[in-house]
Chain A
């Protein structure tokens, strides 16, 4: 069956995954992006596909659904996106953190998270360079990594193969409506007629939704990553300090660091991640770089004499309750949102695209969409 033409605004991994799933369902899809394709938040992250950092709740459900979907989706795309099921290792260096970590893992297991408590000795077998200060560790074999820019490009290429259109450098400036229904997206280069619009602009979703006359509250949080010189194999898993979980769920403006250290296919080590509410200010802050460096050297002392060659940052989109926003806008028929995935958009993209498409086409959703609905407290502006 043929659905009305869809315009997806935003070509990051969420927009790309929505466009891919919609085009697979038979929709005619146009993707607009004010800049180059996939060059915003999706190009500034580590490529996390994680379950380890999520406690029981709707986001974990979405993450597990996504984790199930990714292998088949990547198979369909047929492109090497550096998928690496390396697993995560969360370590605690203090008794209090250890207790919290073990409790968290115990809560996750009934939900379907493979969370295996390992001894400090076993942790060092897995990560020989890890600090001897580790007192507790949990191994998460399901955690994986992929190259976010490559996966975004692969999803968009699939859209184009199915006859969809990709239009980088085209800014959506508003909606044209008739009888409270979307009939076109306005751009500087003219209207793009459509029956359905998907706002997938990540941290810029708030401003785009306002331009569409249907504001939602999605805000940016700055994150910075350090990149070392290429090393021989040194860090095998995604390795986190156990304080990671606390920072994700918090909205404090003050600088938060939750240490994540991992290797890339190219041999470099990525050190994340900071969270700071500074609007869209992208200037470098030595305070943030120092905090990241301190935590990384704490986890892996051998890294102290390794060169850092680059620091890069991006903006994560978050809703006030830190849950993704996926669903129809109640104020404007034909307007949908898929945004607010904070630092988890890469991992959550596969299920998000699928869920949005199920909702748009009226199919039975593969998981409960209610927690992600647009008309929840704090999101509708």
Chain B
């Protein structure tokens, strides 16, 4: 019984651990050199010695339960191929920051909150000296804390929604132990006199060759700007995050059913495809504790453990209530489309502006495929990973109805780019040494 776990964050590590404890042969495939994922960056985690840990390894394609992997330095043409056949796969591929476009967001010095976090926590590198953190969701607080730790002056933290929604879920927060965490962040921010403002956001960034200032404005509940509240703040960097987007390439490649943009799983972490399990942020955004609990459950199930992991299953139920509250408390407001100017870049790779999208829509593009080809949005190197969701949302807002094939942006049979020469040399079958 071989279980292949994809992803070395909290969910993947827990899944690998649970599966190996249940007696399965486990391979952990992780694109990072050290286990821990985005969450545990800078504090490498232990992996059970019975787990075969393929670090710096990227799954670039799946053919059923056969995984095609390339191992070695990122984007090098000289990586080693591996082909893995699995009896069960656990997808723990995580999520990346969602950022909604605003004028100037393509300037150097504008970072996602996750980038600032990865550089600060993982490498001790500060993205700037005077920084505003803006977006929505509790993740902004640990990002601000990490920036403070590397010596950055965090000028303010802007939450586009109101925290008041959370008052409806006091027990949920207490149940998952989030109150203590929030209190700790509040303490750090308070000590450094960093104001946290709600219903406010960075709605534009300014500068020639890098960001030198941002426009901060107060927002209505739908995220439209309250007139007369715009003010300019001098910065040398800005960190933005408007929630997270799951990394769905492998799940979609395997044919897993999605619900509301996430991989649908049952109570054991099983997806709609036999032998394929999923855990962590790819199934819904709920933080590291929930991800680890889901990983433990999915890893056990994938390895056909005789005993169900009762404690982890209970933690999953608690955590999912928190996750639902998170979604309710931190929506992305439709008024954000009003932040865009005609020349605001929407697709960063192909430098497609809001105006270019409007032209394509005016010419009759009414589905993702046509919109992509007519505007070039989503056709660049990132393949719509950054802009896909926003392009689909923006087009739906302009047209007054959702696009019929909005999911088309998720379909990337090549889960990550590889060099043509690597593809030409790839083995088709598993090697003997595994």
A36 & B367 in contact (Cβ 8 Å cutoff): yes
A selection of 25 A-B contacts at a CB cut-off of 8 Å is A36-B366, A37-B370, A79-B363, A147-B373, A149-B373, A150-B374, A228-B420, A268-B379, A284-B61, A285-B63, A289-B414, A293-B421, A293-B423, A293-B424, A294-B424, A305-B419, A306-B419, A307-B75, A307-B381, A308-B418, A308-B423, A309-B381, A309-B414, A310-B383, A310-B414
CB neighbours of A149 from chain B (8 A): 369-370, 373-374
CB distance from A127 to the nearest CB of B (A): 17
Complex CA–CA separation, A178 to B366 (angstroms)? 37
Nearest residue, chain B, Cβ from A307: B417
A2 within 8 A of B: no
B404 & A35 in contact (Cβ 8 Å cutoff): yes
B343 within 8 A of A: no
CB neighbours of A266 from chain B (8 A): 350, 376, 379
CB distance from A166 to the nearest CB of B (A): 9
CB neighbours of B304 from chain A (8 A): none
CB neighbours of A156 from chain B (8 A): 364
A39 & B369 in contact (Cβ 8 Å cutoff): yes
Cβ proximity bits A320-357 to B, threshold 8 Å, 1 near / 0 not: 00000000000000000000000000000000000000
Cβ proximity bits A267-297 to B, threshold 8 Å, 1 near / 0 not: 0100100000000000111110110111011
A308 & B420 in contact (Cβ 8 Å cutoff): yes
CB distance from B41 to the nearest CB of A (A): 26
The 10 closest A-B pairs by CB, nearest first: A304-B421, A293-B423, A36-B367, A293-B424, A307-B417, A284-B413, A294-B424, A149-B373, A305-B77, A309-B417
Select B417's contact among A229, A230, A285, beta carbons within 8 Å: A229
Please list the residues of chain A having a beta carbon within 8 angstroms of any beta carbon in chain B. Answer: 35-39, 43, 79, 147, 149-150, 153, 156-157, 168-169, 226, 228-230, 266, 268, 271, 283-287, 289-290, 292-294, 296-297, 303-312
For B61, B365, B370, B423, the residue with the greatest tally of chain A CB atoms inside 10 Å of its CB is: B423
CB distance from A145 to the nearest CB of B (A): 14
Nearest residue, chain A, Cβ from B417: A307
B61 & A286 in contact (Cβ 8 Å cutoff): yes
Given contacts A153-B370, A229-B417, A296-B420, 5 further A-B contacts (CB under 8 A): A36-B370, A147-B373, A153-B364, A283-B64, A286-B426
A153 & B363 in contact (Cβ 8 Å cutoff): yes
Complex CA–CA separation, A307 to B428 (angstroms)? 20
For A268, A284, A285, A306, the residue with the greatest tally of chain B CB atoms inside 10 Å of its CB is: A284
Select B367's contact among A37, A229, A294, A309, beta carbons within 8 Å: A37
Nearest residue, chain A, Cβ from B411: A312
Nearest residue, chain B, Cβ from A43: B369
B261 within 8 A of A: no
Query: How big is chain B's contact interface, by range?
Result: 35 or more
A293 & B376 in contact (Cβ 8 Å cutoff): no
B380 within 8 A of A: yes
Complex CA–CA separation, A359 to B190 (angstroms)? 81
B414 & A308 in contact (Cβ 8 Å cutoff): yes
B221 within 8 A of A: no
Select B420's contact among A37, A169, A297, beta carbons within 8 Å: A297
CB distance from A222 to the nearest CB of B (A): 13
CB neighbours of A286 from chain B (8 A): 61, 63, 68, 426, 428
A306 & B374 in contact (Cβ 8 Å cutoff): no
CB distance from B82 to the nearest CB of A (A): 13
B253 within 8 A of A: yes
CB neighbours of B423 from chain A (8 A): 226, 289-290, 292-293, 308
B369 & A312 in contact (Cβ 8 Å cutoff): no
Complex CA–CA separation, A251 to B420 (angstroms)? 28
B412 within 8 A of A: yes
CB neighbours of B181 from chain A (8 A): none
CB distance from B366 to the nearest CB of A (A): 7
A38 & B370 in contact (Cβ 8 Å cutoff): yes
Nearest residue, chain A, Cβ from B372: A149
A308 & B419 in contact (Cβ 8 Å cutoff): yes
B424 & A304 in contact (Cβ 8 Å cutoff): yes
CB neighbours of B75 from chain A (8 A): 307
Complex CA–CA separation, A314 to B359 (angstroms)? 28
